[in-house]
A and B are shown apart, each in its own frame.
Chain A
Amino acid sequence: MAVIAEPVAKPVSRLNFLLDRRDVFEAILVAPAVIYVLLLVGLPLLLAIYYSLSAYTIYDPTWKFVGLSNFIDVVENPTFPQTLANTFIFTFGSQLLGLVIGKFGAFLLLRPFPGRKIVRALIVLPFVIPVALATIAWRWLFDSLYSVFNWTLIALHIMDRADVPNWLGTPWLAMLCVVIINAWRFFPFAIVIFLAGLTSVPQDVIDAATVDGAGFWRRNYQIILPMILPIVAIGLIFGIVFTFTDLSIVFLLTMGGPVNATSVLGFAGFQTGIISGDVSHGAAISLFMLPVLLVVVVFMLRFIRRREI
């Protein structure tokens, strides 16, 4: 009688069997990311929501539930509408400016010229310089006495010493300065986004448009721009989300002044919640960002899905 060799059955641990199940293994692999998001994003968000519904201050850390009264206080504060408007002006103004500069910069960098590689490397500098250092440099450029711009205007006899603008002291000029600095920070990113988009447009399509009679502007706005729009939209989402929540430039340059002219949601929340210690009202102010950002992100993601080529 033939004996057929039989492998010795090794005791299989219950854990091994569990890891062989696809759904369990997948869950284990995804778990670190989920835990990370829950702990570092979900928990602070829930905490902020709770603070905003309580009467919590650092002087009186009670957990007393007060409903929506903090939100009502915030809305009734006469400076709040301006802060909200400032945030939109700051965000969309600097994004628009950054995108325009980025687009033209990308076009310039697309053509070969001597030293292009060096310029391409230098142009990302605003993006990598710490914002604190850069803003201090800008603060000197816009200083009321020592502004380089003003001295240039005076030296060129374009303006008299008495008439030069007080950049950070005039409300609308201060807002313009904040917008310019943020656009300056953002435009290298926009250039990179546009360059990536432009180089992905096939030359055949551009040539076809040229032969079909499209001039420079029509080629750009009817062919190239619609084709790179999904990429630009992604860049814009990042830009809007980061700018809408940003407080660093305002904090370092103007402290929200003059007379609240450059105060944005992030800064107002920080000032009320941290500096003044009124955590519950600070949290309420900050939570006003949430619906806006949610709408922006949903709108953009839908737009991208629709435009997918």
Chain B
Amino acid sequence: MSAVIARDIVKKFAEVPAVNGISLSIPDGEFMVLLGPSGCGKTTFLRIICGLEQQTSGDLMIGGAIVNELPPRARGVAMMFQSYGLYPHYTVRNNIAFPLKTQRVPREKINKQVEWASQLLGIDHLLDRRPRQLSGGERQRVALARALVREPTALLLDEPLSNLDAKLRTMARQEIKNFQQRVGLTTIYVTHDQVEAMGMGDRIAVIDHGNIRQVGTPTEIYNDPADLFVATFVGSPPMNIVTHSGGGYLGFRPENFLPKNMIEDGAATEFKFRVDRSEYLGAERIVYGVLDGFESKQIITAKLPPAHVDEKNIRPGEWHTFAVKNSELRQFDKNGNRATSH
């Protein structure tokens, strides 16, 4: 059964479309990531799901029922906000209890649920503090507990990690993912960070200009991008795109673009590559340059294992023969969509 189904959702703000006909079906228990650049409409779509915005057209189903007209409180979804939106004048206990109090749940049940949610997230020792007395990570857990306490059909997360520093973020990513797997809760997670998307999502929906460009598992998104936008948005550095002789485009990932002698067997396509600059990043070496005979809007990059290549072999200004295995080449037609022939 699908927990959340969107059919052709359109949202216009004074005739300016923010969401441009999104259809998406999210099965029960799935961790779905909405990935896209800022301003692509992913947050608006999330706010439509929870009822903070009303779609201009299209249908939305949650838990098998159409909820187009239902107010947020009747939809059975919980949302966690970018800056958490904790109530500063309430203790942690009252913050977590608030969604139950609004539903007039009996007091004993509230106490039991609050205890359950706070133990689940390991914050039961913080119940009598106020939000300002908590660290960033603790606040996040309180916000998560508040979202979970009424056992929602789906949990919506709007860039929940962007307020944490880099170290905490990695930890929190693990925590949210582990937690979601343990509870098996349908989760919709909005982010512009592809590392979060790749690391956490069961499936990723890549969104641009209010449209879904591709929905797929992280492997599908990375290995078989549906169009040039997905190909260049996901991956760091992004996929190399060069103009193809037939009027289309050819794409290959930097880590598959190697000196010819490193390609062991199988059919490969060779390129003349002029090295302009190289960066040593410890685990890898990124080499920037241009190709002979191919046009590209970006600088071509190669990601090489530093054990095989050092500065002496590849120096700025030199021409080298690089190659890509044919199985790693991706072809796109002149509109930027994936060519099916390959």
Q: Which residues in A have some Cβ–Cβ distance to B below 8 Å?
A: 202, 204-215, 218, 223, 226-227, 307, 309
Contacts and interface: CB of A to CB of B under 8 A. Distances in A.
29 contacts: A204-B81, A204-B82, A204-B84, A205-B88, A206-B85, A207-B85, A208-B79, A208-B84, A208-B85, A208-B146, A209-B98, A210-B51, A210-B72, A211-B50, A211-B51, A211-B73, A211-B78, A212-B78, A212-B98, A212-B99, A212-B102, A213-B99, A214-B73, A214-B98, A223-B87, A227-B88, A227-B89, A309-B88, A309-B132
Contact of B103 (A202, A211, A213, A227): A213
Contacts of B337: none
A212 B146 contact: yes
Contacts of A227: 87-89
A106 to B, nearest CB: 19
A213 B73 contact: yes
Nearest to B94: A222
A195 B132 CA distance: 24
Contacts of A202: 83, 85
Contacts of A213: 72-73, 99, 102-103
A112 to B, nearest CB: 12
A215 B89 contact: no
A226 B83 CA distance: 19
Contacts of B72: 210-211, 213
A204 B79 CA distance: 10
B103 A207 contact: no
Interface string B66-81: 0000001100011101
Contact of A204 (B78, B85, B146): B85
A212 B79 CA distance: 8
Interface of B: 47, 50-52, 72-73, 77-79, 81-89, 98-99, 102-103, 130, 132, 146
A206 to B, nearest CB: 8
Contact of A211 (B77, B84, B88, B130): B77
Contacts of B83: 202, 204
A272 to B, nearest CB: 46
A226 B130 CA distance: 14
B81 A210 contact: no
A210 B130 CA distance: 21
A214 B102 contact: yes
A205 B86 contact: yes
A226 to B, nearest CB: 4
Contacts of A211: 50-52, 72-73, 77-79
Contacts of B81: 204, 207-208
Contacts of B77: 211
A33 B52 CA distance: 52
Nearest to B132: A309
B75 to A, nearest CB: 8
Given A212-B146, A226-B89, A309-B89, 17 more contacts: A204-B81, A205-B85, A205-B87, A205-B88, A207-B47, A207-B79, A208-B86, A208-B146, A210-B52, A211-B52, A211-B79, A213-B72, A213-B99, A214-B102, A215-B73, A227-B87, A309-B88
Contact of A218 (B85, B102, B146): B102
A218 B83 CA distance: 21
B3 to A, nearest CB: 17
Contacts of A206: 85
Contacts of B85: 202, 204-209
Contacts of B84: 204, 208
Nearest to A204: B85
A217 B81 CA distance: 22
A309 B132 CA distance: 7
A54 to B, nearest CB: 51
A212 B72 CA distance: 8
In this complex, the member of A207, A209, A211, A309 whose beta carbon has the largest number of chain B beta carbons within 10 angstroms is: A211
Contacts of B51: 210-211
A218 to B, nearest CB: 6
A214 B104 CA distance: 11
Nearest to B77: A211
Nearest to A223: B87
Contacts of A204: 81-85
A9 to B, nearest CB: 54
A227 B85 CA distance: 12
Contacts of B103: 213
A211 B71 CA distance: 9
Nearest to B74: A213
Contacts of B47: 207
B135 to A, nearest CB: 17
Give the top 10 A-B pairs by smallest Cβ distance, nearest first.
A208-B85, A213-B73, A213-B102, A204-B85, A212-B99, A204-B81, A226-B89, A309-B88, A205-B85, A211-B79
Nearest to A308: B132
A226 B50 CA distance: 25
Nearest to A307: B89
B304 to A, nearest CB: 44
Contacts of B78: 211-212
A223 B50 CA distance: 20
A205 B47 CA distance: 14
Contacts of B86: 205, 208
A214 B132 CA distance: 22
B168 to A, nearest CB: 19
A213 B99 CA distance: 6
Nearest to B99: A212
Contacts of A205: 85-88
Contacts of B130: 309
A256 B145 CA distance: 60
A207 B52 contact: yes
A218 B146 CA distance: 17
